[in-house]
């Protein structure tokens, strides 16, 4: 009799639990205006592939709940790998109203680059203090195209930290605010590249 009662309890519990409702988020979305040709008069800048912290290498969205504790959402996930999505969003933002053509390292135009960017993303998440944060470091290398070996003229290292307040609850709003932090990074990179010797 006890076994039947236990089996009935397990059956009732399994019937009442709802299936997990998974929500997928995109950081990089297509632009309405598609520019099929680049301006050949603009200097070319290569954006190398992005390096991201190990804890960001999974599909779950992250919430920092304490100084040393992270919570991974089971039902709120990135629709594509964060490193790839962040890279594409940054490349799109860098090319918006820019004085330069920013290209991927795999692009045929990369051979004529005057500058190279390497980026490491260390933090990119929401916090329990109703904020989103993005931080990391990037390196800019100015190249001399006049020499046969494409000599590096100068390399500079820059750290970044951006934070934005959340005005609503939920991961959807957090992703929207995280997207604005990518725009902030693009603006900072553009200013720092303008200060390099070959620009």
Averaged in consecutive runs of 10 residues, what is the pLDDT profile of the chain (199 residues)? 52 57 88 60 90 95 92 94 95 91 91 91 95 96 62 80 94 95 96 79
Question: Which pLDDT value is given to residue 118?
Answer: 95
Predicted pLDDT at 148: 44
pLDDT value of position 3: 56
DSSP code string of the chain: -HHHHHHHHHHHHHHHSPPP--EEE-S----SS---S--TTSPEEEEPPPEE-GGGSSSEEEEE-SSS-EEEEEEEEESS-HHHHHHHHHHHHHTTT-SSEEEETTSGGGGGEEEEEEEEEEEEEEETTSEEEEEEEEEEEEE-TTSTT--EEEEEEEEEEEEEE--S-SHHHHHHHHHHHHHHHHHHHHHHHHTSTT-
Query: Which domains, from first to last, does the chain contain?
Result: 39-194 (3.40.50.10610)
Query: What does the pLDDT read at residue 143?
Result: 75
The pLDDT value recorded for residue 112 is 84
| pLDDT of res. 198 | 62
């Amino acid at each position: 009799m006890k076994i039947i009662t236990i089996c009935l309890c397990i059956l009732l519990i399994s019937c009442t639990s709802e299936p997990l409702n998974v929500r997928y988020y995109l950081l990089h979305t297509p632009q309405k205006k598609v520019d099929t040709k680049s301006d050949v008069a603009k200097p070319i800048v290569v954006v190398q592939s992005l390096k991201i912290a190990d804890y960001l290498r999974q599909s779950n969205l992250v919430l920092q709940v304490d100084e040393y504790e992270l919570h991974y959402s089971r039902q709120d996930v990135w629709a594509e790998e964060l490193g790839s999505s962040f890279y594409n969003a940054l490349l799109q933002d860098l090319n918006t109203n820019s004085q330069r053509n920013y290209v991927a390292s795999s692009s045929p135009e990369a051979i004529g680059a005057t500058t190279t960017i390497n980026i490491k993303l260390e933090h990119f998440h929401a916090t329990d203090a109703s904020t989103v944060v993005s931080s990391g470091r990037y390196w800019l290398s100015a190249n001399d195209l006049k020499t046969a070996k494409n000599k590096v003229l100068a390399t500079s290292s820059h750290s970044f930290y951006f934070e934005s307040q959340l005005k609503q609850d939920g991961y959807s709003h957090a992703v929207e605010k995280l997207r604005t932090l990518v725009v902030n990074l693009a603006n900072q990179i553009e200013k720092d590249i303008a200060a390099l010797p070959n620009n």
